[in-house]
A and B are shown apart, each in its own frame.
Chain A
Amino acid sequence: MAWFKKEKNKVSKKVKVPEGLWVKCNSCKEIIYRKEVDRNLMVCPKCNYHFRISAGQRISLLADNGSFTEMGQYLASKDPLNFKDQITYKERLKDSQKKTNIKEAATAGRALIGNHPAMLVVLDFAFMGGSMGSVVGEKFVIAAEKAAEEAMPLISVASSGGARMHEGIVSLMQMAKTSASLARFKETGLPFISILADPTFGGVSASFAMLGDIIIAEPKSLIGFAGPRVIEQTIKQQLPENFQTAEFLLEHGMIDMIVNRKELKQTVIKLLSLLVEK
């Protein structure tokens, strides 16, 4: 006989919190009510960290309602290396497609932005880290070529860990290819506005993303060439606070401005109206 009765079922009676009702901010680590973040355009109400958003969310944020028409949506990678780690690259692509509901890390198409026609290319970090392989490279180039042909400004939103290792040298060459298309696009006298979202690194920052005539970054985004861990391991020193943040890049003259998500569309419209003759 026990002196005290155990209240056995107490644990299971605890109120269950539905998955995803709360989110943790990557920057200030606060736990925040998800709806509050949603209402705030996926920006942390506590510290102004801009959460990573999907290509679809990004497009609805920038493009006028219903104006976006996609291009190159059927392009798929041929898996040139026949690459396999724990799972094959082909399986990894399928998993990502299922998880994100998009076919590749880049979405490209024509849009109206405050009634200005513009060509838009948006990367989605949720799709294999927004990495650039054949498809991302090709979509960017098609967008740049079409934009030149149709005399439209070009706008890209980067959010990427860099080149897609799974496509080896072919992915490296996408850096050259996208940069080549910009060399040509820039001869048209139309602006290329590059928007950098968290994070922008490696083969993407070292190609089209840093080639904007105008470069805009979202607050606190991490942007750089080499990842912070690689740098730390190489130099065996602690990195300065604030290192590779949008604020750090602005300070060092590498970007034009930092713009809050809720002002992003207005800023783009203002630039387009100043730079593009209607």
Chain B
Amino acid sequence: MHYYLDFERPVAELENKIEELKNLADGRDMNIASEIEKLEKKARDLRADIFSKITPWQKTLIARHPERPYSLDYIDLLMEDFVELHGDRRFADDHAIVAGFARFQGMPVAVIGHQKGRTTKERIERNFGQPHPEGYRKAMRIMKLAEKFKKPIITLIDTPGAYPGIGAEERGQAEAIAQNLQGMFLIKTPVISIVIGEGGSGGALALAVGDRVLMLEHSVYSVISPEGCAAILWKKNGSSVGQKEYENASEALKLTSQNLRDFGVIDEIIPEPLGGAHRNRDEAASAIGAALSRRLDELKDKSFDELLEERYNKFRLIGELKEENQ
């Protein structure tokens, strides 16, 4: 049984019916294969139709889908010999960020990603993918190791945001994020960042200063969550905000991969299987793999100075400015 989002309900009913029919056919040796095939095509078309017009808020929900593959899933599907490394050597090991070395298409790489949990227990252990300062400091430690050992870095972005808590503030959440932003401009090795789910504000950006920044088709990346934005704009005098306001806020924020490509903030959209990456993990992973190997290839002959210069200019040029006389 799949987990369906509200707007997928029409297709969910159909798919459940197909499932029932299949069970029936199995048990009684009835020949309804052609009927099933017809229904399956109908379900596919219906899904394609629904997905051809999904709203930014619906995209946000897909990006947060509980079955969506997380960093460790992609590491497992794309890489071999993953050795996870732990701890920031200062305070603790943050389970909301995983980091280590692995082999991608035979080549050793450093891989760092936000990690959400799937079961309730895992979610709590991973703090819902919301890192503390030590997570960002661990990430920077591994990036420095990658630089030292001359391995490219792949970062996977998937977080609602950096954790807003007492300990996080006491240990310098702002400073930890800022240090990564600054530090990543000095790392002398190629960096490729891929937003695989939620790109939640500064907590996402702190791993996403890449020479190339890619986004999965149904991922989102934003300065604030639609809920946060809606609360600021419309939660006045005790009035509550809901679905409609979230729809409006996600529309206004322009947070989809298509929007970000139009702004020139990302380099490429990686297509997802129909219905989202969770509908076919292998297909999603292989699309990521293809993009990664193409992008790594692009960067492999550049000198470190060239890389740093281009990385600087890439971000230096982002801004929507004009000159206005008094």
Contacts and interface: CB of A to CB of B under 8 A. Distances in A.
Contact of B178 (A138, A210, A226, A240): A210
B263 interface: yes
B318 A252 contact: no
Contacts of A83: 252
B183 interface: yes
A168 B202 contact: no
A244 interface: yes
B165 A173 contact: no
A248 B224 CA distance: 26
Given A138-B321, A226-B164, A240-B166, A206 B223 contact: no
A81 B166 contact: no
Interface string B298-326: 00000000000001100110111111111
Q: How large is the interface on B (under 10, 10 to 19, 20 to 34, 35 or more residues)?
A: 35 or more
Contact of A172 (B179, B222, B234): B222
A173 B320 contact: no
Contacts of B174: 201, 205-206, 209-210, 223-225
A242 to B, nearest CB: 12
Contacts of A203: 201-202, 223
Interface string A164-185: 0101111111111101111110
A207 interface: yes
A176 B222 contact: no
B166 A175 contact: no
B320 A235 contact: no
B263 A225 contact: no
Interface residues of A, number: 65
A169 B221 contact: yes
A202 interface: yes
B255 to A, nearest CB: 7
A137 B181 contact: no
A169 B175 contact: no
Contacts of A208: 178
A271 interface: no
Contacts of A243: 166, 169
B177 interface: yes
A76 B321 contact: yes
Interface string B210-240: 0000000000011110001100111000000
B168 interface: yes
Given A163-B223, A169-B223, A235-B166, A179 B182 contact: yes
A75 interface: yes
Contact of B185 (A134, A179, A230): A179
B260 interface: yes
B253 A170 contact: no
B148 interface: no
B182 A180 contact: yes
Contacts of A248: 170
Contact of B175 (A75, A103, A180, A254): A254
B50 to A, nearest CB: 26
A168 B172 contact: no
11 contacts: A75-B324, A141-B316, A165-B223, A172-B202, A206-B162, A225-B173, A226-B162, A226-B168, A234-B164, A243-B169, A248-B170
When A and B form their complex, which 5 residue pairs have the shortest distance between CB atoms, in order from nearest? Answer: A226-B164, A179-B181, A205-B174, A134-B319, A78-B320
